[in-house]
Chain A
């Protein structure tokens, strides 16, 4: 396993280097990410704010990946003069998002339009968070509801509440159990890994593209290991499993 980690990191590094020198980079399309501009555009037309949330989960890979998207979306909002409301459940994520949204406004040359009160800490208590969002949806009527991060049971409630006010909704999480709820109530859903490649997909920076290649390498490796392993296991040879357990 450690060998895998080292190999993964090495592949990662090599691909980052190579994409920096300019490697052609085809990626398949991801509908949910293409829809981000549509969502912001719609809010601009309707004069409604965009709502962005990470859910109430711990600061993990989902949150780190979602930071990339937030950075992009808040930049778009700044350019289009559309408000973005970010609601947070974790103290440290609140601080990070303040930094990100502020930086996006500065980079867009709209430092003056940044409104600190729109990046809001609500509560890390799930139900208190939910009730506050229900209120915000009813009173501030966001035209788009972007939910990307480690979601728990709030996924169902937020997406249904957003549906009721007619917001265009994009949900995405690596927490597999919550994906069905997003599929049921959102216009677009980022399934699992699609969230993690979001940064690369939007930004197309060499570093992030490198990550996609390394992840694909990991997937190919596991595909082969599983296929070969179980065929061998059927023939009574357990060498792949023994090797992996080392």
Chain B
């Protein structure tokens, strides 16, 4: 049996092993699951090691001194393995959290908040659809107002607008689900195609 054929058989075994879980947990699935988690972790670690080498160490040796910061931080992270000095790893962690927050803030404000205001505020209310669009955006956003007391008349009004928003969101969620089901089916189609065509040769 040549290697390519063996490969197809291995792949078919893997496919069926995973699908067997749909019936119930079983040793074959357990084997596939553990093998897969191991392989995936290894693949990521291999990528990580490669990145440390070509992203930090090699350019640093080639004269990009500022990468020293990353190397020191990386070594500090490694202190996690030693309980007595594990607190050191919090230092680079704090830095990572800060940079992550900075990035998140950047994207949140520009493309997800500001541009959306501009796009909505520039909309001409000359069709019924546009009026509706604006009203829906306003209602949905009102649902997310938190700091008010719903026992006052004003608060009660906000709450009722928010309830309208809630119903519109249900329309949106229902529509998204409906639109998604068909797409998800294509994932199985690709696997069946593999089983019937490449493995069993039932299709040409």
Contacts and interface: CB of A to CB of B under 8 A. Distances in A.
A56 B110 CA distance: 24
B97 A28 contact: no
Contacts of A124: 44
Contacts of A135: 25, 29-30, 33
Contacts, number: 161
Given A123-B37, A132-B37, A135-B30, A234 B146 contact: no
Interface stretch (A34-42, A47-55, A219-227): A219-227
Contacts of B52: none
Given A1-B114, A28-B159, A92-B93, A230 B41 contact: no
Q: Is the interface of B mostly helix, strand, loop or mixed?
A: helix
Given A132-B33, A197-B146, A241 B44 contact: no
Interface residues of B, number: 65
A95 B74 CA distance: 13
A81 interface: no
A226 B37 contact: no
Majority DSSP secondary structure for residues of A touching B: helix
B124 A193 contact: no
A113 interface: no
B169 interface: yes
A191 B146 CA distance: 13
Contact of B109 (A4, A25, A238, A245): A4
Nearest to A189: B173
A219 B21 contact: no
Contacts of A212: 146-147
A185 to B, nearest CB: 10
Nearest to B162: A28
Interface residues of A, number: 64
B91 to A, nearest CB: 12
B108 interface: yes
A219 B18 CA distance: 46
A131 B20 CA distance: 12
Contact of A194 (B25, B39, B144): B144
B118 A244 contact: yes
A14 interface: no
Contacts of A223: 138, 141-142
B121 A58 contact: no
Contacts of B117: 222, 225-226, 229, 244
Interface string B134-158: 1001100111111111100001000
Given A1-B109, A28-B145, A131-B32, 6 more contacts: A60-B104, A125-B40, A134-B21, A177-B176, A223-B138, A230-B120
